[in-house]
Structure 1
Amino acid sequence: MKGLQGKSIIVTGGGSGIGEAAALLLGEAGCKVTIADLDGGKARNVADQIVQRGGTASAVEADVSDEASVIAMVDHAISQFGGLDGACNAAGVPQRGKLLHEVDLEEWDLCHGVNLRGLFLCNKYQIKAMLAKGGAIVNIASTAAMVGFPNGAEYCASKAGVLGLTRGSAIDYATRGIRINSVMPGGTLTPMLKGAMANDPGLEPALAAVHPMNRFAQPAEIATAARWLLSDEASFTTGAAFAIDGGHTAI
């Protein structure tokens, strides 16, 4: 894909799910990939897979809700690969499967601490690292940013914030050579979704019913969109929110 060879790219949440799929695709495209994950072992496993396939990758343990950890993550990518050209921010936590009045403040704070505060911190320090020569950022949101899900108001709110953050920052940096976009996956068979469905038996049939294609996505189907947005082929695309959702938001 045009313009990816040799680029230094961070993938948060890169140890599993959409992040893992994105890291592997970017590795195949010739990127130098920094895989960041709260689970350092999973991050190293994905980095090893890229290297075994002839690519270039490094792993770093990172908590995106912690400012010092995010700074260290960006510094790691720069020290390993000489700079930062892009990022795919896929780290996130699922809904708790509760009605809003049942959600504890701690549960709300965890959801927003990772999904929104974490995204703010990642974008802040990734942008700082890209100011000198430009770059591209893809933030993984969700169709929950656009439509409601049962027992997931706190999650919907966090993902709606992702779209606002993406659009606002895209405008601010449009003349600075930094493109910032978001991808809104529909139901995707990641470990996070599988865990959420296990905790909330009503979630799987509810999600299945709203996808006209009558199936869930595989992580790679979402990651291909992120890879395109990070490439030079998307050079006139910024501030966009792409729904990759089997028709969910078309209903």
Structure 2
Amino acid sequence: MEQVALITGAADGIGWAMARRFAEAGCRIMLADIDGARACDRAAALGTDHAAVRADLSDEASTVAMVEATLSRMGRLDILVNNAGIGDSHRPTLEQDVATFDRILRVHLDGTFMASREAARAMIGRGGAILNVSSIAGLTGLPRRNAYGAAKAGIVAMTKSMACEWAGSGIRVNAIAPGYVGTALVAKLEAEGRIDRARLERRIPMGRLADPAEIAEAAWFLCSAAASYVTGAVLSVDGGWSAFGDAGSAS
């Protein structure tokens, strides 16, 4: 039987790359995104076996409804990918405000918790895989990324906790921690002068940003039968960023 994968933040960037890769592997995809119209267009591009739902991961009712819609439309849920997220302000700590800080944690951390909880209720007794998207910001220190880094570090801890709790129920929970990826968001930050791409590429041992498809390949591995004995793992997909200790080369 075909597996059903619910992917949040699936309308663009890494999420869209994941949707395409998982569909190529034979999954039926429910694409969830706060831009419902965009998600519908993406689902249509994948084919008639796929569907879309508008979801606001900062809102509990919307998150619950997202999982319910998946079960109603698809009849089952085998894989959840918690990919939805928002960027932070890239401002110095002394200029950061609490409202923005809370919003970032709500979407990333609370959203991952709520979606995982609802998906697990559908998976317990029959098994499944949950993949959480963390970041190098959750594993290392990045200046001016307090809220984002805290949220992504929290996702790492949550991944390990849920993995241990649900292993006996046949639910595997893992995470990936991407580095800098060549998405439209990164291009926007570069255009605004908030990041220096050349400097980043000097800091990355592989000398380049990732392609979204490369992140999607790692995601599919952890959700597939090839990783059947892997749970509670955090896989860095960062071109060697987190392994390399010579930060001076980034100057």
TM-score range, shorter chain: over 0.9
- Would you say the 8 A contact 1:11–1:23 is kept in 2? yes
Quote the Cα distance in structure 1 between the aligned partners of 2:172 and 2:41: 30
- Would you say the 8 A contact 1:98–1:151 is kept in 2? yes
Q: Where does 1:17-32 land on structure 2 (aligned, <5 Å)?
A: 17-32=13-28
Quote the Cα distance in structure 2 between the aligned partners of 1:203 and 1:151: 14
Quote the Cα distance in structure 1 between the aligned partners of 2:78 and 2:162: 17
**Number of equivalences:** 244
Structure 2 match to 1:195: 188
Q: Where does 1:91-130 land on structure 2 (aligned, <5 Å)?
A: 91-130=84-123
Q: TM-score, normalised to structure 1's length?
A: 0.93
Q: Return the letter of the residue paired with 1:122.
A: A
Structure 1 match to 2:66: 73
- 1:181 paired with 2:177, answer no
Structure 1 match to 2:248: none
Residue identity over aligned pairs, in percent, reads 38
Q: SS state of the match for residue 19, structure 1?
A: helix
Cα offset for 1:197? Answer: 3.3
Structure 1 match to 2:43: 47
Quote the Cα distance in structure 2 between the aligned partners of 1:108 and 1:194: 23
- Would you say the 8 A contact 1:97–1:196 is kept in 2? no
Q: Aligned-residue CA RMSD in angstroms?
A: 1.4
Quote the Cα distance in structure 1 between the aligned partners of 2:113 and 2:87: 18
Quote the Cα distance in structure 2 between the aligned partners of 1:71 and 1:176: 21
Structure 1 match to 2:31: 35
Unpaired runs of at least 5, structure 2: 245-251
Structure 1 window deviating more from structure 2 (196-205 vs 111-120): it is: 196-205
Structure 2 match to 1:16: 12
- 1:169 paired with 2:162, answer yes
Q: TM-score, normalised to structure 2's length?
A: 0.93
Cα offset for 1:193? Answer: 2.5
Q: SS state of the match for residue 56, structure 1?
A: coil
Unpaired runs of at least 5, structure 1: none
Structure 1 match to 2:234: 241
Quote the Cα distance in structure 2 between the aligned partners of 1:216 and 1:202: 13
